[in-house]
Structure 1
Amino acid sequence: MRAQPLRLCPGDDLRSAIEQAFQGQGAAFVLQAIGSLSVARLRFAGRPQADEMTGDIEILTLAGSVSPAGAHLHMTIADAEGRVVGGHVAPGCIVRTTVELLAAVLPGHVFSREMDPATGYPELVIAGARCAP
């Protein structure tokens, strides 16, 4: 495992910038990130579409997996009134001032996503591993 810090800049699309930063590196996990957004797009549990929030938004936590198949990221945010929500990161989250992120790059591991009939979603597949019982 190799630690990889990353800073995203104002105007960056959070999800695509993370995917681009780790492209070609195989498998990685975002361990944590903090920062701010001007636009947050989160898909809440059980909903098919992302909700959009705008304004001064703080990232409290950000974690997930990154692979050539894309990213699966979850984030908790707080608005300017201190209200906290969290969910699945959708494209279109725009960095306001900065995002400071730490990832663990996992050389020798290969991640992909395959449709899982049990969940109905494309789920993480780790080459050479199976779902834990």
Structure 2
Amino acid sequence: MQTLVLRLNPGDDLRASLDSVLKQGGADAAFVVSGIGSLSGASIRFAGAENAARIEGDLEILTLAGSLSPDGSHLHISVSDAEGRVFGGHAAPGCTVRTTAEILVAVLPDWQFARTHDPLTGYAELNAVCRSGRTS
């Protein structure tokens, strides 16, 4: 396992920045282990919702975790607003960094991640294959 420590800058889109990590490094599998920082607004898809909700204003990233594959990411985030209310769910495009985002990514060079349609869930789900033949 290799690790990357990322610092995103004001105006960066959180999801787009993480989606580009594998493209830049030539890897096929990674996990976001931890993330903190601030956003100037967020798009979060709540559990069971069809579309992302838009949350405006200054937000603190409390947690960020997920998997990264060449086919796209699956990221969960929780944020708090200026009144301390907490919102969480799937991080969608449109989570804009306000001051910084500090993110720890674990790159898994022995693994290849892909997202394939799962008829049971109806979503593109993670398909993890170990190149060395080990099973997960």
Please report the TM-score for the alignment, with normalisation by the length of structure 2.
0.92
1:1-133 counterparts in 2 under 5 A? 1-23=1-23, 24-128=26-130
Q: List gaps (5 residues or longer) in structure 2.
A: none
Query: How far does the alpha carbon of each residue in 1:57-76 deviate from its partner, in whole angstroms, 9 at most, with x for none?
Result: 00000000001111100000
Shift of 1:127: 1.7
Aligned length: 130
Shift of 1:21: 2.2
Q: d(CA) in 2 for partners of 1:36 and 1:22?
A: 23
Shift of 1:37: 0.3
Structure 1 stretches of 4+ with a deviation exceeding 3 A read none
Please report the TM-score for the alignment, with normalisation by the length of structure 1.
0.94
Q: d(CA) in 1 for partners of 2:69 and 2:118?
A: 17
CA RMSD of aligned residues (A): 1.3
Q: Percent identity?
A: 57
